[in-house]
Structure 1
Amino acid sequence: MTQQEHSRRVVVVTGASGGIGRATAVAFARRGDAVALLARGETGLAAAADDVRAAGGTPLVVPTDVSDAEAVEAAADRVERELGPIDVWCNIAFSTVFAPFTDITPQEYARATQVTYLGFVHGTMAALRRMRPRNRGAILQAGSALGRRGIPLQSAYCGAKHAIKGFTESVLTELRHEGSDVHISQLYFPGVNTPQFEWVLNKLPKIPQPVAPVYQPELMGRAMVHASEHPRRRAWWIGIPTVYTILGAELWPQFMDRYLAGSGYQGQMSGTDRPADAPVNLWEPADGAGGRDFGAEGRYSDRAWTRDPQIWASRHHGALAATGLVGLAGLASLWARR
């Protein structure tokens, strides 16, 4: 048996048909894992399965609307029947609305919240029902810097991501109270070049864009794999803009209010007019049967970052701290000899 075969895991990825979910599924496949692909869009799921297979993994397509708790539970049952015990569960699926709060209907707000927030709750419930009796497993929550700082035009998304932070921290403390060896972690991502900007419900005059700098989704997929291999860490800040967004929100929220009020509208709108026939995935998948496969990357690949020194530093913070202590000790020794 090869090392890769020995370390093969069963991984569930929600939102696997496109964007960060698609990139995460492929990243786990590259290490030889069996990957269950949960999403609504049949076209995207089929293409994601091909990508997983080509990357060296074993795909299992499970069409699922994560807003439906019973459907998520049934999906988890099927995964364990066909692939085996779930080792890693990645909650990534979401849907949202780009619009000022006053332009969003109660029905649209409820639907975005059901998918983006309750979808994570349902996935966490299904994972814990199976992992807690075995006393092993990892749950990864794909969060956002916007889960620590709200911005204009994204109240539905920011509200859901803030809610995910709160409930995840509650679950984490309960698992620690039990002394459980099941771990739950949050990853806070920056703006990512995904197809979401083409398929979310958009009420703006222009096609929305991620707040710069924008990152390629493959980088986030690799971060998810790394976090799964280091599950005891409770949170990961991914990317330089995530760091300054979170720190700015904590240290000087009034400045962030003024800055975002002035720049947050135009900064999130591209120069391209919104098409009258733009796809919308809030109620139905944009990549339904016979539809378009959107893939992992969006329309901003020409300016997306593929590396970031902060991500490397986040992974090696222990070594960096040790190096810093050695350096300080050396300086202290030199000073003492003066």
Structure 2
Amino acid sequence: MKPIAVVAGGSAGIGRATVEALLARGYRVAVLARGQDRLDQMRAELGADLWTRSADVSDAAQVEAAADAIVADWGAPEVWINNAMLTSFSSFAEVDDAEFRKITDTTYLGTVNGCRAALRVMETGRIVNVGSGLAYTSVPMQAAYCGAKHAIEGFTQALRIEIARGRRDITLGMVQLPAVNTPQFDWARNRLDAKPQPAPPIFQPEVAAEAILRAVETGAREVLVGRSVLKLVFANMLFPDVVESQLEKMGVEAQESPQPDFGRDDNLDGPLADYPSKAHGSFDDRAADRGIIVDGDRARKALVFGAAAALLGIGAMLGRASKAGPAEPELHDPDRTDLPWGLDTPDYSRAIADRR
């Protein structure tokens, strides 16, 4: 019997790419999403191994009812992936309470609702929460979305510990994604001066789907995708003031494409019925179809042990230099642009030099 996977937020973008990847690996896949038209399209395209249900993940009762229906029709799932999200490209001052709550309820509480339902109906397997590099480093003009991704990170860690204490045969992991070419940038609410874009470098949804499947197959605590996410994680950890200074200068502009964006509808209050189910957005010509996928824990250990080795090496060199008698070496060149954390602009290097 084929294993069963659930993808919440699976009718477009990363969710759609993940559904296709799961089907290719022999799963039966249940998809939850708001838009019935896109779900119907998927059923027609992808066949009998697909189960669909229209559900708003911000409504816990709808998610619980969907979980019960999956079990009744197919049995208990072995995999549950929480991917649904909403955002608004707007300054905080422009986002009222209702809009902020809608984004938070879908992106954060939708994940919470999915985990609760999954833990109730699953006997064994993997739960994967789809996160973002923005769970570590926030950007301007998406305060609600960044806050929700930070909340998912904290919630996931707390729940993972509880699952371990309960000795459940279930793993809970998170996949931190880079900027991805999805329909999000075609249908999200936008108050920028131009059409929003994924802040480069941009990756195709299949890269994200492969990372999610890596988390499913390995049970990793956290998976980091793309060098840009590694930079966001580690640069913000080491030099948060420098990161924020750079984002103050270019964080808004990096999210603006050269394309105008006038008078279109958005998906905040409901799905756009006339937008098809597809994984890719409007930036195929700029999106990479390959990216590094690393275990987050291993990446952190490599950073720590690599830094320790570097310090030991520097200490050894300084020891030899002190015996020979030369002047103390200059360790920071203010004109370097190849900094190890990847913030490859002279402004970062000079800012670090100024801190000495």
TM-score (norm 1): 0.86
Distance 1:125 1:206 in 2: 39
Moved more, 242-251 or 39-48: 39-48
Where does residue 38 of structure 2 map in the other structure? 44
Q: Secondary structure at the match of 1:89?
A: strand
Q: CA offsets, 1:219-269, max 9 Å, x none?
A: 1112211211111x2101111100011001101000011000001011100
What is the aligned counterpart of 1:295 among 272, 278, 288?
Answer: 278
1:170 corresponds to which letter in structure 2?
A
Aligned-residue offset at 1:43: 2.1
What does the per-residue CA deviation read over 1:65-115, in whole Å, with 9 as the maximum and x for residues that have no partner?
Answer: 001000000000111111211110000001111101111111100111010
Query: Which residue is equivalent to 2:257?
Result: 270
Q: Distance in 2 between matches of 1:280 and 1:112?
A: 13
Residue 244 of structure 1: aligned partner: 231
Q: How do 1:151-190 residues align onto structure 2 when only pairs under 5 Å count?
A: 151-190=139-178
Displaced runs of 4 or more, over 3 A: none
Task: State the match for 1:256 in structure 2.
Answer: 243
Cα displacement (A) at 1:298: 0.4
Q: Does residue 102 of structure 2 align to residue 102 of structure 1?
A: no
CA–CA distance in structure 2, aligned partners of residues 183 and 220 of structure 1: 19
2:51 corresponds to 1:60: yes
Q: Which has the higher contact order (CA 8 A, sep 6+)?
A: 1
CA distance in 2 between partners of 1:292 and 1:268 (Å): 22
Is the Cα contact below 8 Å between 1:40 and 1:285 reproduced in 2? yes
2:217 paired residue number: 229
Mapping of 1:1-338 within 5 angstroms? 8-53=2-47, 58-131=49-122, 134=123, 136-231=124-219, 233-276=220-263, 278-286=264-272, 288=273, 291-308=274-291, 310-311=292-293, 314=295
Instruction: Give the letter for the 1:264 counterpart.
Output: G
Tell me, in whole angstroms, the C-alpha distance in 2 between the residues paired with 1:47 and 1:191.
26
Structure 2, unmatched stretches of 5+, are: 310-356
> 2:347 is matched with which residue?
none
Measured in 2, the distance between the counterparts of 1:185 and 1:49 equals: 28
- Matching residue's letter, 1:230: T
- Percent identity, aligned pairs only, is 37
| Partner SS, residue 257 of structure 2 | strand
* 2: CA distance, partners of 1:216 / 1:34: 24
Pairwise CA distance, 1:275:
2.1
Amino acid at match of 2:255: Q
CA distance in 2, matches of 1:49, 1:218: 20
Distance (whole Å) between structure 2 residues aligned to residue 164 and residue 96 of structure 1: 15
Query: What SS class does the counterpart of residue 183 from structure 1 fall into?
Result: strand
Corresponding letter in the other structure for 2:109: L
> Which whole-Å CA distance do the structure 2 matches of 1:249 and 1:44 have between them?
38
RMSD of Structure 2 on Structure 1 (CA): 2.1
1:25/1:52 contact within 8 Å kept: no
- Give the letter aligned to residue 97 of structure 2: P
For 2:89 and 2:34, how far apart are their aligned partners in 1?
Answer: 21
